[in-house]
Structure 1
Amino acid sequence: MWIKNTVLEGQYIRLEPLSIEHVEELQEAVQDGESWKLWYASVPAPEQMQGYVEKALSKAGEDQVTFVVRSIASGHIVGTTRYYDIKPEHKRASIGYTWYSAAVRRTPVNTEAKLLLMENLFEHCGALSLEFKTHFFNHASRRAIERLGAKLDGVLRSHQILADGSIRDTAVYSILASEWPAVRNHLKAKLTVR
């Protein structure tokens, strides 16, 4: 695999490779905020977590590397994130499938998680670019992606049919390797201003 499935650790969080043993902790984490009720988000309900984890694990080694996000302060799992649509032949990947417990939103958790993922992708894997994709109407996610320093590439119209039958327009953002040094400085500054 071009991207290794390994622990990535920062000051606030540790990204651990997903395993089936994480199901219970993820069920607890997702209950804080009930994000699965957001019509535009693809967050599993507690009773769907087993299948969610099994599906993610079945894609491991293909084109995905999935992590749980563990708070170093509390020791609890507070969410999940992953690399997906990994294209080693093009030196690119997407970062997404990210959700967090309500208690850690708008804290250093997402900033540091993305810093660790991007640092690994650009500095250790030699990526040329990365993408973020989200529902056009997921304004909170779009703002979070923009705060990271990603640029909007465009909107894929009628891109996906969601479970409820609605059609998703997908906003696509990217960060290029040439932009990474400035993005890295920006994210590190955000983490030190706390």
Structure 2
Amino acid sequence: MDLQPTLVGERVLLRPTVAEDWAGQYAVASDPLIWELHPARDRWQEAMFRRFFEEALASGGGLTIIDRASGTIIGASRYCFPDPVREEVEIGYTFLAREHWGGAVNREVKQLMLGHIHRFVPTAIFVVGENNLRSRRAMDKIGGVLQPRRVERGNGQMLHDHVFYAVRRAEG
């Protein structure tokens, strides 16, 4: 299963995150409003984002999101915690520049990522901060189904202040 593919859509290009993406990603992530509803509200601070970025590099699943029209970095996402028993992979740690919120870009990013990972596993899991209503609405828009009573992610980590959504591969 390739957790760092290059995915090309009409509006965006997703490619493996590399160390040279630091400045571009931080230019987007340094906007405090991006993290306003997120459990890690301080991620806009350089030291906090540095840790997040280093984790993305080390994860083997980090993807940088590039606007195809301008060629600039507009965000990032990740595939993580493949769970062979449950036949699922988590998609998460996504952030986008505010000018790309609520519309076609986020939908395209998720469609590209889902289309790729559903070639390998039937289910993608999204972990969302319980009070992050913006991200929860985005999950509804892409057909995410809230998972009742689930509190652990694929690596066994317990998360009590998050909710889990599943997007299953269309059959047939």
TM > 0.5 fold call: yes
SS in structure 2 of the partner of residue 3 of structure 1: coil
Given the alignment, which residue of 168, 175, 191 partners 2:167? 175
- Counterpart position of 2:43: 44
Please give the alpha-carbon distance, in whole angstroms, between the structure 2 residues aligned to 1:144 and 1:21.
Answer: 29
CA drift of 1:33 comes to 5.4
- The superposition leaves residues 92-116 of structure 1 with CA deviations (integer Å, 9 ceiling, x where unpaired) of 1011101111111112111000000
Q: Higher RCO, 1 or 2 (CA under 8 Å, sep at least 6)?
A: 2
- Counterpart position of 2:19: 20
Identity of aligned residues (%): 24
Query: Which moves more between the two structures, 34-43 or 91-100?
Result: 34-43
Q: Relative to total residues, which structure has the larger helix share, 1 or 2?
A: 1
Moved over 4 A (4+): 155-159
Unaligned runs of 5+ in 2: 153-157
CA drift of 1:54 comes to 1.6
For 2:165, the aligned partner's letter is: Y
Say if 1:91 and 1:104 are closer, same or farther in 2 by CA, change over 3 A: same
For 1:136, the aligned partner's letter is: E
TM-score normalised over the length of structure 2: 0.84
Say if 1:54 and 1:28 are closer, same or farther in 2 by CA, change over 3 A: same
Count of aligned pairs between the two proteins: 166
Conserved? CA contact 1:33–1:102, under 8 Å? no
Given the alignment, which residue of 97, 101, 105 partners 1:105? 101
- Counterpart position of 1:186: none
TM-score normalised over the length of structure 1: 0.76
SS in structure 1 of the partner of residue 118 of structure 2: helix
Superposed, 1:141-156 pairs within 5 Å as 141-156=135-150
- The superposition leaves residues 108-167 of structure 1 with CA deviations (integer Å, 9 ceiling, x where unpaired) of 1110000000100113x2x1211111111101100101110111112546954xxxxxxx
Say if 1:52 and 1:41 are closer, same or farther in 2 by CA, change over 3 A: closer
SS in structure 2 of the partner of residue 51 of structure 1: helix
Conserved? CA contact 2:32–2:42, under 8 Å? no
Larger Rg: 1
CA RMSD of aligned residues (A): 2.3
CA drift of 1:39 comes to 5.4
